[in-house]
Amino acid sequence: MTDINNTENITIDSSFIANLRHDLRTPINAILGYSEMLLEELEDDVTLQESHGESVEDSINKLNDIQSNGKEVLRLINQLLNDQYGSQSKNILVENLLNLKIATNPLITDIISNCNLLKNELEVFDNEDFIVDINRVYKSGIHLKALFIDIQELNFLPIDETENLSHVPIDNFIQVRYPKLSLENQKNALTGHILVVDDNQNNRDLLYTLLTKENYTVSTAINGKEALEMIDKKDYDLILLDLLMPEIDGYQALKNIKENPKKKHIPVIMISALDEVENIIRCIEIGAEDYLPKPFNKTLLKARVDTSLEKKILRDREIEYVKKLNNELDKGREMQLNFLPLKPLQIPQWEIASFFKPARQVAGDFYDTFLLPNNHVVLVLADVCDKGVGAALFMGLFRSLIRIFSHQISIEGDINEILSTHKPLETGWISDDMETNFIHLNALNSVSLTNNYVADNHGDLGMFATMFMGILNPDTGLLTYINGGHESLIITDSHGNRKHELSSIAPAVGMMPDMVFNCKQIYLEQGDILFGNTDGVTDARSITKEFYHDKRLNAILEQPFNSAQLLVNTIKDSVLEHIGTADQFDDITMLAIRRENRVFC
């Protein structure tokens, strides 16, 4: 405290008054806490009441008087040292302190007197622990009286409290005091491990006793420094943290806990006789779960401890659930990746490259490359609507149906009539090889069959996919394709010149049954690269929410590339650099195929 005796017109800051109120409340906390415990034990001990009826009743009356006087002293402290009006002059403070001393002196004297009488009465009960507790109440009363003597002289210096108030070591206190309870605790799982941090031994012992009686495991620390060392070595379910402590105070200890990624989830309840609203707000802002003023109400303490531990249990369950869920999603991701080609398809005179990066553990995007029995190549690039697990499940369904249906002979009848009825848009059949045209048309019919299956069986879910599917004759470079609502694919030559844009010519797959899926034909020439992507490329967002956009993509496509893999890698690096530290907005998928230049010996 501060000596203000030599100043006349000084204005006393509200924080000074709060600290003074804190010092006076601390011994009150012990008086009320230990006398209440004694009361409960005497009232609950039927055997003791039967053997020492009148003596027990007399002791209970004296303890009730101590409780009543202690509560009245607390009320007067709160009333006469109220800082709700902010700072006040020294004269007003001196007047309030004098009134407080006059009003509380008989109450404190009565507490001390009752303690002296109780010492003799409690000795009859042959319970050494009763004497220990009443001595704590007595010494706290003496401490409080000494504080008021200092206040009278206006020398606000803390009394050096070096005497150990307990002859029983804290670690063994409960085992000595409550042997029955200790045996029960060994049999039954405790509900939580609580760390009590307070530089005042009375407070530590009181909280230790109360909480252990409630079936909690309790450890104690004498200051913030020791608490942080203990927290680093062990996990706790709840921390009760005092504010005013030497070395590291409660504020700094709380801040260190909440800045530790591994420990920040531990709930912290601040316990202090310092009750200014600013202190409470500061603690809550740092991350405290709750704030409990001293002297604390035992019922309120239990309620707030229970509430904090319930939240901790729920939080732990949530973390464990998310961990298990992520494990399952990781398994799903591995399975989904197994749906995609394990390695690029190797075709003489052709190079195929791809890139796939889901926004979450699983994705709705997919690409596929596989051979038909006649060695024609199927190229698929698709994006199932939505994201996450639902899209991933439909991704597997679309991919499997396309593979199954494309290997079946699904179009029957005269080849010439069929080809005459189903001509590619704009150009008709540009290849003179009718058998090749029929092979391509039959494989592409898998899109229509897939559409009908999904629409008929899962139409109520509203799931569909934009899809590009092409059938390539690797010998001639003939490509017959359907683009069902997908992003345009681009064909560039070896110099980066854009030759063709394979835009959407059909609806998305799976929206309604019996939709018409028109196709087109085109030739890929030597040095040409066919590049396609899902909208996750152009819709990629930076940390400032800026889209990657078509402009950046086209700028790369206009550059000359002699490798499909180099083109994909260049776009990939550009997109990921644009995203930076931002969350990936959508799945990113790319597919490129290049017809190599023939080398003549």
Binning pLDDT at 50, 70 and 90, where does residue 405 land? very high
Instruction: Please write the tens of the pLDDT for every residue from 109-133.
Output: 899 888 888 888 888 887 888 888 8
Identify which of 66-80, 275-289, 315-329, 472-486 has the greatest average pLDDT: 472-486
* Whether residues 72 and 138 fall in one domain: yes
Q: Where are the beta strands (DSSP E) in 44-137?
A: 88-89
**Residue range of the domain that includes 10:** 1-165
Residues 92 and 190 in one domain: no
Cα–Cα distance, 246 to 133 (Å, whole number): 26
Longest dimension (CA), the chain: 120
pLDDT tens readout for residues 167-218: 333 333 334 333 433 444 444 444 789 999 999 888 888 899 889 888 899 9
Check pLDDT > 90 for residue 19. no
User: Within a domain: residue 178?
Assistant: yes
What mean pLDDT do residues 248-270 have? 91
DSSP string, 146-197: HHHHHHHHTB-------S-S-SS-GGGHHHHH-HHHHHHHHHS--S-EEEEE
Q: What is the pLDDT of residue 10?
A: 56
pLDDT at 88: 60
Mean pLDDT of 277-288: 85
pLDDT at 157: 34
Query: Of 336, 352, 368, which residue sits at a domain end?
Result: 336
Residue with tokens 């608490």: 227
Domain containing residue 83: CATH number: 1.20.120
- Give domain status of residue 601, yes or no: no
| Bridge partners for 242 per DSSP | 271
Out of 149, 165, 181, pick the residue that ends a domain: 165
**pLDDT value of position 83:** 57
Give the model's pLDDT for residue 351.
97
Helix (H) or strand (E) holding 269: strand 268-272
Q: Which of 124, 142, 165 is the last residue of a domain?
A: 165
How far apart are the C-alpha atoms of 457 and 397, rounded to whole Å? 12
Shared-domain flag, residues 153 and 253? no
Distance (Å, whole) CA 39 – CA 48: 13
Within a domain: 319: yes
Cα atoms found within 13 Å of the Cα of residue 113, Cβ hemisphere only:
8
pLDDT digits (tens, 9 = 90+) for 87-97: 566 777 777 78
Return the higher-pLDDT residue of 247 and 268: 268
Highest mean pLDDT among 48-52, 251-255, 469-473: 469-473
- The number of residues in the chain equals 601
pLDDT tier for residue 152 given thresholds of 50, 70 and 90:
low
Predicted pLDDT at 169: 37
Both tokens assigned to 598: 């023939």
The neighbour count for residue 525, using CB atoms within 10 Å, is 13
pLDDT of residue 46: 82
Q: Binning pLDDT at 50, 70 and 90, where does residue 239 land?
A: very high
* Contact by Cβ (8 Å): 396, 339: yes
pLDDT in tens, 495-526: 999 999 999 999 999 999 999 999 999 999 99
Inform me whether the pLDDT recorded for 390 exceeds 60.
yes
DSSP class per residue in 313-363: HHHHHHHHHHHHHHHHHHHHHHHHHHHS-SS---BTTEEEEEEEE-SSSS-
Q: Do 125 and 230 belong together in one domain?
A: no
Against a cut of 0.75, is the pTM above it? no
The reply to whether 281 and 403 lie within a common domain is no
Q: Is the pLDDT of residue 4 over 70?
A: no
Are 264 and 359 part of one and the same domain?
no
Domain count, the chain: 3
CATH of the domain at 504: 3.60.40.10
Query: Do 355 and 299 belong together in one domain?
Result: no
Residue 600: inside a domain: no
**Which residue did the predictor score with more confidence, 432 or 362?**
432
pLDDT tens-digit profile of 455-474?
999 988 889 999 999 999 99
pLDDT band at residue 9 under the 50/70/90 scheme: low
Work out the average pLDDT over 596-600. 72
Residue 307 pLDDT level (bands cut at 50, 70, 90): confident
| Residues 412 and 305 reside in one and the same domain | no
108/246 same-domain check: no
Mean pLDDT (whole number) for 367-385: 94
Of 451, 461, 470, 420, which Cα lies nearest the Cα of 516?
451
Mean per-residue pLDDT of the chain? 84
Residue 264: give its domain's CATH number. Answer: 3.40.50.2300
366 located within any domain: yes
How far is residue 43's CA from residue 419's CA, in Å, rounded to a whole number? 100
Contacts of 299 (CB under 8 A, 6+ apart): none
- The torsion of the CA quartet 197, 199, 204, 205, rounded to 10 degrees, works out to 150
Statement: residue 85 has pLDDT above 60: no
**Are 110 and 25 in the same domain?**
yes
Average pLDDT over residues 530-553: 94
Per-residue confidence (pLDDT) for residue 276, from 0 to 100: 66
**pLDDT recorded at residue 11:** 62
369 and 396 share a domain? Answer: yes
Closest CA to 532 of 498, 490, 565: 490
pLDDT of amino acid 97 = 80
* Integer Cα distance of 186 and 179 in angstroms: 11
Q: Give yes or no: residues 321 and 366 share one domain.
A: no
CA 416 to chain centre: 64
Q: What is the pLDDT of residue 151?
A: 67
> Does 2 have pLDDT greater than 60?
no
Of 328-342, 534-548, 551-565, give the lowest mean pLDDT range: 328-342
Q: Which residues pair with 351 in a beta bridge?
A: 594
